[in-house]
Each structure stands twice: as structure tokens, then as C-alpha cells.
Amino acid sequence: MAQAQQKTDRQADDATVVSMTGVNKWFGQFHVLRDINLTVQKGERIVICGPSGSGKSTLIRCLNRLERHQDGEIRVHGIELNNDVKNIEEIRREVGMVFQHFNLFPHLSILENCMLAPVWVRKMPKAEAEEIAMHFLDRVKIPEQAHKYPGQLSGGQQQRVAIARALCMQPQLMLFDEPTSALDPEMIKEVLDTMVELAESGMTMLCVTHEMGFARKVANRVIFMDEGQIVEQNEPEAFFNNPQSDRTKLFLSQILGH
Amino acid sequence: MAKETQRQSKVGMPVAFVRREEAPLLPPPPSQAGLIGWLYKNIFASMSDFGSIGAAVKSVLMAGLTVILLYFLATQFYGLLDFALFSAVWSDPDGVKREACWTVEQGGALPAGWHAACWPYIAAKAKFIFYGAYPEDQLWRVNFAYVVGAVMLVWVMIERLPYRKPVGLLLLTAYPVLATVLLTGGGFGLSATTVGIYTILGLAAITFGRLGKLGRITGPLADLAQIAGVAGWVLIFLAAILVLVGVDFNLPAVDTRDWGGLLITLVVAITGIVASLPLGIVLALGRRSEMPVARFLSTVFIEFWRGVPLITVLFMASVMLPLFMPEGVNFDMLLRALIGVTLFSAAYMAEVVRGGLQAIDKGQYEGADAVGLSYWQSMRLVILPQALTHVIPGIVNTFIGLFKDTALVSIVGIFDLLGAAQSTLADPAWSTPVQGITGYLVVGMLFFIFCFGMSRYSMYMERKLSRGHKR
């Protein structure tokens, strides 16, 4: 425990949050991730886009071991992701994730959803966890829903709760896996606003999304993936105005064309 | 598009429309609300459509069928009430036993053709039906155990009462010990060495676990230390139980062979129910585990116990098991039956719980993983609460099945409720034509009360737990 603490402290001043070197992954015969090399610095906001099935979700899901890679090295805060459960649990404590389908716990109230991990994983006293939960619910602008259950909230509200739940662990890195894809058009904006606000607060973010407006507005870097590879990455202005690869051009023309 | 506009304008309907005033909110028609609504929806909906000849014929047929069924139900129900209450013999003031329930044809005083319950027989046999051969002057021990258990159970079930958690914990830990001591008399005279070994092992394991927690033990042994920490407390707990059941409380010992009737049924059913649920949960998790060994062992266990009839299990326990035991080692027969029944229903329970686990969306597992919960935490806090809620009907189904299956222990010579009642039928002092029916009526009623109670409580739990988070 003490050792682990030291390790985290040592990494805290290191600016590299994620490093992926030569990562490969297969689903059975299917090669989903091919030679992925990616470094994320503290405070960076990266948008990953690409056609469906290109491996972008799989990539970020590898970063907290929801999927395991078969080859290459992944380090998060300097801790290597391997079969050691201790490492995995340590990394998951520092990495928040927001899912396409929210994945809130339906049997717990909004407040309990937010307090669960701080209380059980961080061993925080209940009163403190509640204070933190209310702080973040306030930040995503739904403190008044704290005692309702997820099923009573709209999709947009649920997704904002999911963001608050992840933030309650006070993570160093936030992963977003298509956070607006399951939402009605009129609710997308409220979630994006929350994400923009989060980005402005300096959070390190990795977002898989099709919201190109969001990418232009907050991203430092846009990564385009196709067929399991990183095809192109660049600053948003250059990426959108002057794409280099044909595949990127085709993709952009398809999603921006209408 | 052009065609559409043309068609509309031909009919003369304006295409543009703007609502200027709010449509009023009206109360529902009487067929939707209140008593009339209820009656309409539940009784008259199928018989009040006279819109066409076909519908009218159907309505009339339905009404006729309803009347016939109501008549049938009423006569049957009246027959039952008449048998059990109105025409029944309630007392035997002259102490003539069976003759109190004899008709004139049989040599008694009741009118010819009389056929109803003979309650004095039940009154005379009540002690045996409820307690078996348990010594009369020791019955207070059974009753005391009943009262304590019932009070604690009700306490846990009523939501408004304080300290429900500690009471529940006591009910699951201290109460079984208390009940065992009360019912058997305790004083098993277990050797001090056994207790000593348990205590020493337990303390050693706890120390090992603490060292692991403090980070003194690393590497592969660290996981072992974590398990040892828990196992140590279990050992200490077992040692405490051994001490308690070993202490001589000066209660006369009552051999389990003298237990019987409802007492046996409750002991077997409650032990089975309480032990099979956690065991079933562990087996279900094991069968879905990613560890091949755990999965294999759980699967083999479940398939084995599910593939064997309970009667075979009980026969094995009573006849075969002693043959495998070394000379002089003798398990209590009731204990053997208890273990058999528990393992048997645990296998069924495991499959019910597995069904619930299967129904949980993959996103819930991922959500729990992503916030950093460990496997056991995510199971306990996220997955199982939802999975078990989904399968409450199945769990209670297994409980009720188990409760009624306890009647099978009578084939290995343990007199459960049914067995005890049946054995009273052999008493010639109460031999009458209605004796059997009265006895079985009582047994049936008692079984029904317990099973129906479980069923109602489970429905209450379902409603309560589904509140708020319906999807």
C-alpha cells in the first residue's frame, strides 16, 4: 500500500499520463488494434474519430483493462497494465470512464451512484463522499436530482450523472466512449457543455466521439483511426482544413457532407 | 408531394394548422377509474360488448360461464367450510375418544351420513403432530426457540424498526447456536483440544492476514494472506460456537430421534433455506467465473446434485454414508439429512441465481470495473443486488419447493409434519372414517400457511425493490 502510494506520487509530477507502445489486439482472428503508439500528456484533450469498427472504442477500453491487449506495452501514470490485479485496480482508481449507455447502477440513487466508489475504493468517510458527490453533481448542474433513481432521469441527465460519478473518484484521466451517441438531439448539447466545461478546467481527456464541433472547440489533437490503425493525427484546425490521407478526407467528407 | 397537396385541397381540408387554445385536461370516464372502473376492467369487460351479434353472443356466453363458475366455487368452498367448521365435532366432553366421531351406524351418537372433521382427535394428537416425541416437560425449550426466532425475524422484516442490521446478523449467527443448544440440550462435551486447535489456527491465520495488510508479505503469498485473514475469523467463530455448544447448561439432552412433526419440518426447511441461498450464490458465481478450476468444480457440483433425486440423496445419507465411515464415527441422522437437503437445493438455487446474473447488462459489470471496484465489491454492491431482485420469484419458488420436499425425510425414518400426522392414524383409539381426512387437512393447512406466507412476503419484496428504478 505504501509502495503503491509512492509510485503514484512519483508519477504525479511526470507529465506523461498514457503511453502505448506497439500495442496489438485481436478478437479471435480479427486484428482490431494494429501497432498503436500513442502518448498522452497531462492536460491534453484528444478526440478520437473514425468509422465504426475502426477500433477507437477498443483503444480507450484497453486503457483501463475493460479489454486486454495481447501485445505491446501500455502504461498509465507509469504503471504497467498487465495481468497483475493490483496494477489494474490502481489504474482504474485514477482513470474515470463515461460510456455510451451511461451504465449507471439502476438500483442506487443518483447520490449513491456517485458515493459508491469513493466509499468502497477510496475508503472515504460517508459524509466526505457525500460532500464530494454533491459538489460534482452541482458542477454538472443536477444537484436537485440527487435522491432520484437513474430510471427517473432523461438520457442527458443520466449522462451528466455518469460524468459526475467518474469525477467523484477525482481521476487524473477521463475516458469518454461515444458519450452522446445514445442521446436524443436535444440532449446532446447539455452533455457537450458539461464536457467543454470539464476540458476548460484542465482535465486530461480522451474522447471517442463524432461531435466534430466539440473536437474543433476543445481538442488539442484529433486522431483518426481506420481498420485498427492510427491513420492520421493533427491539431484540429489542420486536421479538418487540411487532411493529408485519402481515408481521412473520405471520412470527413462523409460526416461533414450533410 | 404535389399529389398529396392536390388530394387534400380537393377534400377541402386546410393544410396549415395552429393551435390557439389548450385542449382541456378532462377526468377519465367512469370505466377507467374507481370502483366502477375496477369492476369493468376485471369482470365486465369481456361481457359488455353488444356492438354486433357475434360480440353479443360472446358477452352472454361469458356472463353465463362466470355465473356457473361462481356457483361451482361457492358450493365447493361451502363444502370445505361445512366439513371443517359447521358440521365438525369440536369436543369430546365424555372422553370417549373415537366414539365421539362415530355416527349411529358405527355405534356412536352422530346422525347417519355425517361426514366432517373430528377435531378432538387433532387436539389429542397435537403434541405429537407439532413436536413428535420431544419430552413433554421440555417443550418450553422448543417454544422458547420459536418465540425468539419469530420475534427476531419479524423485527428484521419490519422496516420502521431500528437496529435491523445487527438483529439480522444475530439471527444468522447467534440464533442458530442458541437454537441448537436449546433443542439438543448442548453439552456435547467436545474436547478442549479441538477448541484449542481451532483457536490457535484462527489466531495464526489472522496474524498472517494482518501482516499481509501491513505490506510485510508480498508476492503470490499476499493473496493467500488476504484469504487467511478472513478464514482466521471464521475459525475463531467456529471455536466460539464449539465452546457454546460444549458448555453444559444443565439441560437434559434430547436426541434428535425424538424430534418430530412441525419441529422437524421447520428445522430442515429453515436450515436448508438459510444455508442454500449463500451456497447457491457462490456456486453461481463460480460457474460464471473466468477461473477454469472454479468453473469446473461448480459445474460438476451443480450437475451432480441436480441430476440425482432427493430421495436417493436421503437414502445415500442414511444407509450408504455410515458404511464409508470408520468404526465408531457416527453422524447424527438428522444432521445427515440436513446436509443432503441443503446441498440439493443449493444446486437448484445456483442455477436460479445464474439466470439472474445472466440477465444483467454487460455495461453494469463494466461500469463497476471502471470506477475501480474489486471483483467481490462489484458483485456485492452492483451485480448481485440487481440479479437477486430479478430472480426473487425463482428463489422463492426454490424455497417453497424445499419446504414441501422436507416431507421426503420421512422415508428415512425422520418424522416430519406429514410423517408424524400419518403415524397418528395408526392409533386405534381414534380410529374413525374421518380421521385421515382431518389429519391431512391439518397438515395441508400448515404447509399452505408457511408457503403462502413466503409467497406473499416475496411479492412485497419484489414491489419494494422495484420501486424507483423501473427501467
Q: How far is CA B1 from CA A94, B18, B465, in A?
A: 57, 21, 52
Pick the more confident residue, B147 or B432. B147
Question: Is B359:B388 a contact under the CB 8 Å cutoff?
Answer: no
For residue B141, pLDDT beyond 60: yes
CA distance A29 to chain B (A): 21
For the record, the C-alpha cell of B32 comes out as 377507467
Closest residue in B to A89 (Cα) is B372
For residue A5, pLDDT beyond 50: no
Are residues B370 and A169, on separate chains, in Cβ contact within 8 Å? no
Give the closest residue to A166 by CA, choosing from A90, A60, A95: A95
Mean pLDDT on B315-325? 81
**Interface test mutation site (partner B, options A57, A103, A112, A114, max chain B beta carbons within 10 A):** A103
Q: What is the 3-state secondary structure of B262-297?
A: HHHHHHHHHHHHHHHHHHHHHHHHHHCCCCHHHHHH
Start-to-end CA span in chain A (Å): 54
Residue bearing cell 437445493? B345
pLDDT for res A10: 46
Are residues B215 and A2, on separate chains, in Cβ contact within 8 Å? yes
Residue A247 CB: number of other CB atoms within 10 A? 19
Q: Which residues in chain A touch residue B363, judged by CB atoms under 8 angstroms apart?
A: 99, 101-103
Are residues A66 and B366, on separate chains, in Cβ contact within 8 Å? yes
Mean pLDDT on B197-220? 78
Are residues A107 and B465, on separate chains, in Cβ contact within 8 Å? yes
Specify the DSSP element, H or E, that contains A30.
strand A30-41
For residue A173, pLDDT beyond 60: yes
For residue B23, pLDDT beyond 60: yes
For the record, the C-alpha cell of A135 comes out as 459538489
Could you tell me how many helices (H) and strands (E) chain A has, helices first? Answer: 10, 10
Mean pLDDT on B292-320? 91
Q: How many residues does this entry show for chain A?
A: 258
> Which DSSP letter does residue A72 get?
E
Q: Which residues in chain A touch residue B370, judged by CB atoms under 8 angstroms apart?
A: 64, 66, 92, 95-97, 99, 103, 166
Interacting residues of A238 by C-beta distance below 8 A, sequence separation 6+: none
Q: In this predicted structure, which of A10-19, B27-36, B313-322 has the lowest mean pLDDT?
A: A10-19
Q: Cβ of B371 under 8 Å from any chain A Cβ?
A: yes
Interface confidence (ipTM) of the complex: 0.90
Q: What type of residue is B104?
A: V
Q: How many CB pairs under 8 A join A and B?
A: 78
Question: Is B262:B130 a contact under the CB 8 Å cutoff?
Answer: yes
Q: Which residues in chain B touch residue A65, judged by CB atoms under 8 angstroms apart?
A: 369
Name every residue in A having a CB less than 8 A away from some CB of B.
1-3, 64-66, 85, 89, 92-93, 95-97, 99, 101-107, 109, 116-117, 120-121, 148-152, 165-166, 169
Q: Which residues in chain B touch residue A66, judged by CB atoms under 8 angstroms apart?
A: 366, 369-370
pLDDT tens-place string over residues B384-438: 999 999 999 999 999 999 999 999 998 888 899 999 999 999 888 888 888 889 9
Question: Is B316:B412 a contact under the CB 8 Å cutoff?
Answer: no
For residue B238, pLDDT beyond 70: yes
Confidence class for position A161, pLDDT limits 50, 70, 90: very high
pLDDT for res A117: 95
- Bridge partners of A97, per DSSP, are A175
CA distance A97 to chain B (A): 6
Q: Cβ of B389 under 8 Å from any chain A Cβ?
A: yes
CA distance A246 to chain B (A): 35
Write out residues 133-192 of B within 8 Å (CB-CB) of A.
none
Q: Which of A2, A106, A165 sits opposite B469 (nearest CB)?
A: A106
Q: How far apart are CA A175 and CA A44, in angstroms?
A: 12
Are residues B372 and A149, on separate chains, in Cβ contact within 8 Å? no
Q: Which of A99, A106, A117 sits opposite B386 (nearest CB)?
A: A106
Specify the DSSP element, H or E, that contains A20.
strand A16-27
Question: Is A213:A11 a contact under the CB 8 Å cutoff?
Answer: no
The average confidence (pLDDT) of chain A is: 90
CB-based burial label for A160 (10 Å; 0-12, 13-18, 19+): buried
Q: How many residues does this entry show for chain B?
A: 471
Q: How far apart are CA A92 and CA A79, in angstroms?
A: 11
pLDDT for res B50: 79
Are residues B386 and A152, on separate chains, in Cβ contact within 8 Å? no
Residue B228 CB: number of other CB atoms within 10 A? 23
Q: Which of A89, A93, A149 sits opposite B469 (nearest CB)?
A: A149
Question: Coil, strand or helix: which one is B7?
Answer: helix
CA A177, A183, A188 angle in degrees (round to 5)?
Answer: 90
Q: Which of B366, B374, B465 sits opposite A99 (nearest CB)?
A: B366
With both helix axes pointing from N to C terminus, report the angle between B119-131 and B262-287 in degrees, rounded to the nearest 10: 50
- Bridge partners of A49, per DSSP, are A224
Q: Which of A89, A104, A105 sits opposite B374 (nearest CB)?
A: A89
Mean pLDDT on B291-317? 92
Q: How far apart are CA B459 and CA B455, in angstroms?
A: 6
Q: What type of residue is A85?
A: V
Q: How far apart are CA B97 and CA B183, in angstroms?
A: 32
Q: How far apart are CA A61 and CA A67, in angstroms?
A: 6
Residue bearing cell 478520437? A48
pLDDT for res B190: 67
Closest residue in B to A119 (Cα) is B373
Q: How far apart are CA B392 and CA B390, in angstroms?
A: 6
Q: Which residues in chain B touch residue A146, judged by CB atoms under 8 angstroms apart?
A: none
Are residues B371 and A106, on separate chains, in Cβ contact within 8 Å? no
User: What pTM does this model have?
Assistant: 0.83
Q: Which of A101, A120, A165 sits opposite B377 (nearest CB)?
A: A120
Q: In this predicted structure, which of A71-80, B185-194, B304-313, B460-469 has the lowest mean pLDDT?
A: B185-194
For residue B212, pLDDT beyond 80: no
For the record, the C-alpha cell of A170 comes out as 477525482
Say how far residue B201 (Cα) sits from the centre of its chain. 36
Question: CA-based diameter of chain B, in Å?
Answer: 104
